[in-house]
Each structure stands twice: as structure tokens, then as C-alpha cells.
Amino acid sequence: MSRPTLQFDMELILESFAQGSSKDYNIFLGQLSDPETSDDDLVRYLNGLRHCVTSLDINHEMLVGKVLRLDWAGRKQAIVQVYQSFLLNLVSVHTDYLKAGLRMIVAQFLPKTKDFMKEDEGSTTVIEDSVRKKYDTIFINLHTLLKAIAQIIPMTPVLLLPLLSEHFPYLKKETFLQECYVKNLLQVTHYITSIRQRVLELIVDRMIKLDVRCPRLSIEEAESQEDMEDGDIFDLEDGGSKKTLFGQSNEGYSGHLGAIDRPMKHKEADRLDTMMDLVFSYMHNSCYTNGELDWETTKLLYREMLMIFERIILPTYASCHVQFIMFYLCSIKESICEGFLDYLWKKVQDPNTAAIFRQVTVAYMGSLLARGKFVPLSMVKTCLGIMTNWIHSYLDHSSQDTVHADITHHGPFFAVCQSVFYVFVFRNKDLMEMKKGYKWVESLNFQRIITSRLNPLRVISPLIVKTFASITRTHQLAFCDTVIERNNRMILPVSGDSSTGWAGRETKMLDTFFPFDPYLLSRSGKFIIAHYQEFQGNLEEENTETSDEEEDMFAEEAAKSLENSLMSPFCNTLTEKSTLDFMNYGTSPGFKHH
């Protein structure tokens, strides 16, 4: 059956419709949405509509809806140009259609799954270059139109932001969908700069939700399995896994040691890796112009990211990678690193900040000082001096009747002690080798800290305690062994718990996490590895005189500490810590559950 023919005259069709005759109008609606309509006819229809745009009021909502559903962005250039011109005129004259027009544009930021999914298996294929080129062209056409609309209609950003959030693909959607959408969101910020922070916040929020869905242990297991399948890893059955006292494997998965431009086996980690790679590239391109640092732009980006950090990253529990956004920013310029450390320390000192946030903030501080190759030794020295001065001042003002480790009331104190010991473990060689280094380190008076009534060695990470004890013993800076042995024999009360008596109660252990533990994502890792400090020492080498009996006793104590810490609501993923790096203690810099 042949379709009805139409002698096209848009003005006449609209006039007849206004007078109550809808025959030609309905025929036109059918031809407009017919996939068999030729490109030439479609150009003719759109041109006719463009010249009658003032007549397309709310009574023609169905007609406008048909136009908005047209698949135009990937068609020949003549269609693209006339469509862009029509829609720009339409939303300028009838702002009631603006939201619908923006929705149409944002919806096309997502590619069609049929273009990159296997129909038989329902799984993502390797995205072909032809598919990428096709969508690159489509996205350029969409952004050209959106930019033009934003330039002439001031209310565009207000309507656009909710739509960007609404269309963000669900976390389980394919990597290519996530990649295209994030890429388009970042592109929007180049010409609608007023919403950049909100857009970045939207992306970071979605990435952090992905991050908490892929803990370190599951990533390591998935990637190690892939390596074994590829024949690139030792045979576990042959006893190739040689773990040291600290769980540091000398062989095995080493994703954090170098960037690999390939998909990750862990699906959530692969999506997160792709998104992190896009964000890092965006940050780099924003800060550098022709290889030269644009300082004003960099400062603005840092301020925006710092607000996002405080609102989203800092309070989030169990994130492993998204916080490296701040790590990378600090690596760009020393003054940014100094500013970030200053921000963190002010929060640690602020008594109006909740104790749990003071603890997590000083963990950020210690982790950055220890892991950042870009942090100059002078800055490390300054921060260590400030933190130890605070510790000694705290001890000066603490009650003399304090006789046990009370984390409930002294949590920030123990967290600062743990960060100081952690940084010293990483940086002790550099500090000792600087001019008058030994004398300066000696002035920190570690001995007073470890023998104080608050007894920090009892509650902080046993791994940090033993390593710190080994190093300070070697340099005769402090002697921790007596305190450690006494603590191993003691049974102290759980702070804040009055439900039971003294007998059989043990001290709560401080949550031991450091936010810049080794970075496991393969592709985006290229932005981190050049700036990242791996732990170089080994306790077994530094403390060869330690007896097997002492090691067994310590291992038993560490196991008890781990068991106790698992009782904390903030430590339920502690067992997921990485085995890639000796100084890798936990999974999270925060406490907000998603």
C-alpha cells in the first residue's frame, strides 16, 4: 500500500490545521517520522518548519515532539545544519520547548547499545574505530547546537544541570556508555563554565559510588586471575607466592607499578578506570596550555576540587582511588600541595570538627607526605615538626590521671601519632641524611611520645609500631621494645564501654587506613605512578636480630588487633587491604556509606 502524497507547503498545512482541517497535517506528521523519508525531503520539511517557527506554539506540541525524536545528529551535513538552525530558532521564540530540546541533546550523549554490543552474547565488544569516529561526529554536532543555545538563552544552565544528572547511566551500564557520557559532560564545561564545579561534582559522585563497589581485594583477585590466564604470573602451586612478614608479595599482580592501556578484568574497576582517566586528562589539559602551566586556571580548578573533596570524597567510606584526584593536583605545583596540607592541618586542629573527621583528615596528611614524591623534604620536615609539637602540647595539657589508651576521647591524638610514625617510616632515610638530620629528628623526642601515659603504641597499627620500633632502635632515637612487650602482656579496658568489668577486656585499635595506598587502576595509573613513592624498606632486613619467638608473639597480637578492629562499624572491610605494598593498611579515607 503506497503512502499518501503531500504537496508540501508548511504555511498552508499549519493554516489548514488552525481552521480545523487536520488531514494534510497528519500526513505530514507521518512522513516526518517515517524512516524511509529521503534526506532531501527531510531537509525540505525542516526548512519549511524553520520558516514557520513562530506558529509552532503549544498547540503543535505533537509536531515538535516528532521533530525532537528525529535521528539527525549522525546524518548528512545538510540535515544537521538545517536541524540546528530550526531548533535554535524554535527555543528562542518558544522557551516552553527549551527543556524538551535540552533533554533531546543530553539523551544523545549516550551511544546506542546496538552499535557496540554483541547481539548473541549481550557483552561489550572491543569498540571499533569506525564506531568511535561515528560518535565523535555526532557529539560534535550536539555540542555545536548546545553551545549556540546556551549563548542566546541565559536560563539554559539552570535547566541543563538536572538533565545531566538524570541521564547519567546506571553504574552497571557498559564501560563505553560511561566513557561517552563523562566525556560529553566534561566537554560541556568548556563552553558553559558557570556549571563546571557542579558537573565535576556530579562525575566525582558517580565515580565514588563505583569506587566503593570495587574494593582492593576483589580488584587484585580479578587482575591476578587474568595474569595467570595469560601466563604472566608465577604458579601458585609451585610456591611462587613469597610473602614477607607484612603481607608484601615479591611477585604477583603489580598493577600499581605501571600503567597498562587495556581493559581491566574487574568490570566496575574498568568503568572507574576509564572515568578516572578522562578526569585526569581533563585536569591536565585544563592546567596546561602548550605545555606551560596556566596558574590562574589551575588555582580555580584546585578551589573547585577542594570543595568537591570536602563535600563528597572526605566523608565517603571505602573509596580507594577517587581521592587520587587531589594527589594528582598536588603533584602539579608545590604551592598547591602546601595549600592542601595547610587545609588538612587546620581541620585536624579544629575542635569544632567531629573527632572522626579529624582522624581521617590527618590520615590524608600522613599519606600524602609519605607517598608523594613531589613533596619536598623541607615540607615533610615542617609538617612533622608541626605535628610532633602538637602531640607534645597535647601531652602537656592532658590529665595526669590518664592511665590507659582511650580512643573515644583521644582519637585525634592517636591518629596524629600514627601519621607521624607512618611518615617517619617512609622518609627516615632522607631525614637522617640531610644536614644535621639526626639532631633534628632527635629533637622530635619520640621517646616521650611512646612512653607517655596515653601509650599510643598500644592502639595504633601493629605493623607501623614494629617498623617504627625497628628504625628508631637502629638509630637509637627511641626504644619501643619494652613498651611493646608490656602492651602485649597487658589487658586494658575498652574505652567508653561500661557494660562489663575490667577482666577480659581489650583496648580498641585505631582504624588504620591511609587514603593514598597503592593505585590499582591500569590505564589511569599513568597519571600517578611517576609521582608515587613505593615503600623501599623491609622490616626483616632492618631488624635481623628479632627472634622467631618475638615475631610469633607479634603476629598473634596483630591477629588479635585485626579481630578487634573488625568489630568497629567503620572497619568492616579491613580484611580487604592490598598485599601489594607493605605500608598498605586499609581501604577507606572516610565513613559515609553509599
Predicted confidence (pLDDT) per residue in 418-453, tens digit: 999 999 999 999 999 999 999 999 999 999 999 999
Cα–Cα distance measured from residue 182 to residue 168, given in angstroms and rounded to the nearest whole number: 8
For the chain, percent of residues with pLDDT exceeding 90: 65
192-204 average pLDDT score: 97
Cα–Cα distance measured from residue 349 to residue 341, given in angstroms and rounded to the nearest whole number: 12
Q: Which residue among 211, 238, 255 closes a domain?
A: 211
Q: List the grid coordinates of 151.
A: 549563548
Cα–Cα distance measured from residue 157 to residue 291, given in angstroms and rounded to the nearest whole number: 31
Please give the distance of CA 32 from its chain centroid, rounded to a whole number.
45
What secondary structure does DSSP assign to 330-347, as a single string? Answer: HHH-HHHHHHHHHHHHHH
Cα–Cα distance measured from residue 158 to residue 195, given in angstroms and rounded to the nearest whole number: 9
- φ, ψ of residue 33 to 5 degrees: the values are -100, 0
Q: Which residue among 211, 229, 250 closes a domain?
A: 211
Q: Give the domain extent around 204.
A: 10-211
Most confidently modeled of 236-245, 320-329, 350-359, 389-398?
A: 320-329
Are residues 164 and 18 part of one domain?
yes
Q: Is the pLDDT of residue 82 over 70?
A: yes
Question: Would you say 100 and 56 are in contact if contact means Cβ atoms under 8 Å apart?
Answer: no
Q: Is residue 285 part of a domain?
A: no
Most confidently modeled of 126-135, 251-260, 494-503, 536-545?
A: 126-135
**Coarse DSSP helix, strand, coil percentages of the chain, rounded to the nearest 5 percent:** 60, 0, 35
Question: pLDDT digit string (tens) for 472-489?
Answer: 999 999 899 999 899 888
Are residues 192 and 336 part of one domain?
no
Residue that the C-alpha cell 559532560 belongs to: 185
Are residues 453 and 331 part of one domain?
yes
Q: Is residue 414 part of a domain?
A: yes
* Residue 403 pLDDT class (50, 70, 90 cuts): low
Q: Which residue among 211, 232, 257 closes a domain?
A: 211
Q: Is residue 229 part of a domain?
A: no
Count of domains forming the chain: 2
In this predicted structure, what is the pLDDT of residue 353? 93
Q: Is residue 435 part of a domain?
A: yes
Are residues 331 and 188 part of one domain?
no
Most confidently modeled of 124-138, 240-254, 284-298?
A: 284-298
Read off the pTM.
0.83
Q: Is the pLDDT of residue 501 over 80?
A: no
- 501 SS3 class: coil
Q: Is the pLDDT of residue 287 over 80?
A: yes
Of 176, 171, 73, 169, give the one whose Cα is nearest residue 117. 176
Are residues 402 and 532 part of one domain?
yes
Question: Would you say 428 and 471 are in contact if contact means Cβ atoms under 8 Å apart?
Answer: yes
Q: Is residue 351 part of a domain?
A: yes
Q: Is residue 250 part of a domain?
A: no
184-206 average pLDDT score: 97
Q: Is residue 219 part of a domain?
A: no
Q: Is residue 452 part of a domain?
A: yes
Residue that the C-alpha cell 494534510 belongs to: 24
Cα–Cα distance measured from residue 324 to residue 273, given in angstroms and rounded to the nearest whole number: 12
Q: Is the pLDDT of residue 553 over 90?
A: no
| Mean model confidence pLDDT for the chain | 82
Cα–Cα distance measured from residue 299 to residue 341, given in angstroms and rounded to the nearest whole number: 15
